[in-house]
Structure 1
């Protein structure tokens, strides 16, 4: 077939190169979102100051600029594209059980530890230290979720380890260090340590009392040997692990170092790495213990009691990371809408898209405000405030249940704002979407947390009173909130397992509404109460009623808008 000049218009219509130039021009595509400032978030900065950590704002803004930089965003992408690799043996046949990571993983970890996102708040006497850490996680969470796992477990291990003072004296200074020192070596010879956890087993999951891993006492007081198999042990490259096992006196908590004080490798056979739904940057494993040396943490038979403080810490981090994912995906959706046009106008200027973004913004601000309030309660509780400790006990489980439940729906809606562009890996949105469900599963699924709320109320009425005292601070600000609180009291009086999820959802929504009516602009608080409490809302994001102040909500939420 021979083409002539007469055929050129037809060729051009089909995108064929008729003059040796490009086949098409790229138009109406957003520029890269990076660099941006991940701390450019009014709700975050206001909450930081409100909860007593305003002194950390300068460092938070610096970290926010780094988190949104092209370099840090590339670290996150590379750490997930180049997955960790398990090496069970060295070239000579010696068992090593090591996990190798891409350099980008180490860049992310080094920054997180140096910025105080691991155990360092426990060594910081300043009021608000734990709030500053949570705010840092909300900002640094704009990079990669996977490396938040070992930093979270390290943070949570410190209060549990304090139940055995002689062990805490050795390990706490290293767990609270801001030095990232990877590699398996004698813990006492390193500049800083990371801690992991080995709680669940295949036959029980959250029902840890069914664990079968056995702990046998040795002739040395406080030292045991373990034999058994753990089902989900994330970050197996950590230096030490807190493990639950059955001792003669019942289920107990133990400290298991990867390397023993004499320099020999402890038995920690990694059977495989999990092929999981979420991030690819972190390694989740199944370790086998066989004569593994361990030190008792807390009394025998009190393993669950020992790890309760750990659970409070890691559940807070589940709320924090869900809120960070919400904020990150909202930023990406807003950036796309600001630069993409359709049907004759920018997406951001289309009323329906503006409704979607405003609705997402409400959810994001409510999650952020609650995460920081929980962090404030944690900070004051560890400093001896009993009322805040009671509030923390119930509100952390409430927040863990609800905020993590909202994450998957939120990230899916934010992804949809990008259309087909959001469905490809290069956008980063699929990675965030895959990650979102993890936060509702880790540290107890929805049912576990809902039942934990009922258990807290039943065992200690002070927890419910602390929650209602908090809600009362918003009394009179919005009639819908007042009605919701009154209804909540009625629900609580007849609460049961069957209605536990409905009850805890209502607790979460009233708590978020109370925070917003006290601290957020009127447009935000009014729209949240009208939809989440007043029932003037559809079953999808983007169904805010007319007159909801969409412009004010969107302008507050998106970086560079307000």
Structure 2
């Protein structure tokens, strides 16, 4: 009989090292020098205390709320246990936590209740920060914020609804709007057969009694996309005769009965998953006509213009968060015997991501600055043209940016527990929602053709930066020549849109930005042979400066 060992030593095979701590428990505003810089440049820094408090919650408990809201998805309950139709969507408590925080802080109401210089800038900064916790809940926040100008087309309806819309109280319960202190507003325009071509819509509205502005109509039809179906009311396009009109359709009628808005199903989407999107049917649903019959597109476009702008904010936030996560992760990780921040090629990629994110934020807050001075014809004209440019370019670049950031982090970034996988799935929605890339191009061509003053306002904005860099001057002259040639302009529209975006970003950086960043952008994006791949910055650029500027410092 042999002796048996009394113990066997097993080496520890799961030591965790060379892995950075997650980016959490920090103030998302105070630690973001780039966002602080641009808020200050455009006169929003009077709200710094408010933004600091907002950023604290975003970087602490609301980060976890964002993960929970995306893990526990909305659930549709068509009927209650007794068989009554309720058309209810149930959200995880984290979703309501995110909504309540944003609304109570003034995310929806600030520019409308405190219309002072920098108010739109401060509100844009809040939306930018909120998106870094959860872009999905940003959708109903955006629509509620953006509905205000459209509702003002109908004063009697605005008088009834705006106090609740601009309230800083959130009530996510399923009960009539007149029992709530605060409400949210959604939108339902898209139909199966039309998509972006809303003139193909077939939903019909007929007067219940009298016709005309502010009167009640009955709507019958189907909507292919209704985002955030638990909102208290929706702006809807429907036909009165042969023309489209705009209606405010509440989920509950004024007599306390349920308005027959029947949810058919929730969409199973690639991203934006914490937010429910539904197919709905109106089966005689009551709604108030906003403005004149047949003027529906003109009425709702005031809402669409702002939701398109918020697509810029949302995609800028995705880009900033992706760059931030990539820079943070690589700062705490070594490969091939050196810290990743000492690897020249990795620093080139990270600096390129940071440069792209800052250029996106710069033009986004430039639009907010214009909104703060919309009474100025030059600023109003800039908004009409530049919003389409920004939505087209930033929303497309966000898709590539989030993928590159995920690659910087590696396999850890690809799994669902990490932020970047969600950012990547989220990225395409803003380029699709509120008009695809082609729609933005054609809208811009239409505006520039029919409103020559708008074209002049846009190029006056560019000309502020003339003489700052020879590459900029050369590209601006070439762009003017390209627009002078009207032949096949629709075929060339995407190329023109890209040139407009790069010139506008460069002009904004040179006019308002940090000179070293503007110089780097011109060298990287305005050369005769620019690369659309990240990590190809010219060697003359101080990449470490750019990365240090964007690094979160706890």
Q: Give the TM-score normalised by structure 1.
A: 0.95
Alignment of 1:290 onto 2:280: no
RMSD: 1.7
Partners in 1 of 2:243 and 2:133 — Cα distance?
A: 41
Tell me which residue corresponds to 1:196: 186
Partners in 1 of 2:150 and 2:190 — Cα distance?
A: 17
Native 8 Å contact 1:184 1:259 kept in 2: no
Equivalences for residues 256-267 of structure 1 within 5 A = 256-267=249-260
Partners in 1 of 2:45 and 2:221 — Cα distance?
A: 47
Partners in 2 of 1:558 and 1:356 — Cα distance?
A: 14
Q: CA 1:18–1:76 in 2, change beyond 3 Å: closer, same or farther?
A: farther
Q: CA 1:3–1:117 in 2, change beyond 3 Å: closer, same or farther?
A: farther
Native 8 Å contact 2:218 2:286 kept in 1: yes
Deviates more, 1:518-527 or 1:227-236: 518-527
Deviates more, 1:484-493 or 1:498-507: 484-493
Native 8 Å contact 1:380 1:388 kept in 2: yes
Partners in 1 of 2:105 and 2:491 — Cα distance?
A: 43
Partners in 2 of 1:94 and 1:78 — Cα distance?
A: 30
Give the drift of 1:93: 0.6
Alignment of 1:355 onto 2:341: no
The partner residue of 2:405 within 391, 414, 419 is 414
Native 8 Å contact 1:536 1:545 kept in 2: no
Partners in 2 of 1:249 and 1:447 — Cα distance?
A: 26
The partner residue of 2:442 within 446, 451, 462 is 451
Equivalences for residues 114-133 of structure 1 within 5 A = 114-133=104-123
Tell me which residue corresponds to 2:236: 243
Tell me which residue corresponds to 1:56: 47
Deviates more, 1:78-87 or 1:491-500: 491-500
Partners in 1 of 2:459 and 2:121 — Cα distance?
A: 22
Alignment of 1:85 onto 2:78: no
Equivalences for residues 29-48 of structure 1 within 5 A = 29-39=19-29, 40-48=31-39
Q: CA 1:531–1:472 in 2, change beyond 3 Å: closer, same or farther?
A: same
Native 8 Å contact 2:116 2:372 kept in 1: no
Partners in 2 of 1:19 and 1:501 — Cα distance?
A: 66
The partner residue of 1:106 within 96, 101, 124 is 96
Tell me which residue corresponds to 1:479: 470
Native 8 Å contact 2:354 2:550 kept in 1: yes
Equivalences for residues 4-403 of structure 1 within 5 A = 18-19=8-9, 22-39=12-29, 40-69=31-60, 71-221=61-211, 222-248=215-241, 250-381=243-374, 384-403=375-394
Native 8 Å contact 2:347 2:547 kept in 1: yes
Q: CA 1:531–1:173 in 2, change beyond 3 Å: closer, same or farther?
A: same
Partners in 1 of 2:173 and 2:88 — Cα distance?
A: 9
Native 8 Å contact 1:83 1:280 kept in 2: yes
Give the drift of 1:492: 1.4
Secondary structure of 1:244's aligned partner: strand
Secondary structure of 1:203's aligned partner: coil
Secondary structure of 2:133's aligned partner: coil
Native 8 Å contact 1:537 1:545 kept in 2: no
Deviates more, 1:145-154 or 1:342-351: 342-351
Native 8 Å contact 2:462 2:507 kept in 1: yes
Secondary structure of 2:373's aligned partner: helix
Count of aligned pairs between the two proteins: 546
Native 8 Å contact 1:245 1:252 kept in 2: yes
Deviates more, 1:50-59 or 1:389-398: 50-59
Task: Spell out structure 1 runs of 4+ moving beyond 4 A.
Answer: 2-5
| CA deviation string 1:96-151 (max 9, x = no partner) | 00000000001100011112112442122322211111011112221010000000
Q: Give the TM-score normalised by structure 2.
A: 0.96
Give the drift of 1:395: 0.3
Partners in 1 of 2:92 and 2:3 — Cα distance?
A: 52
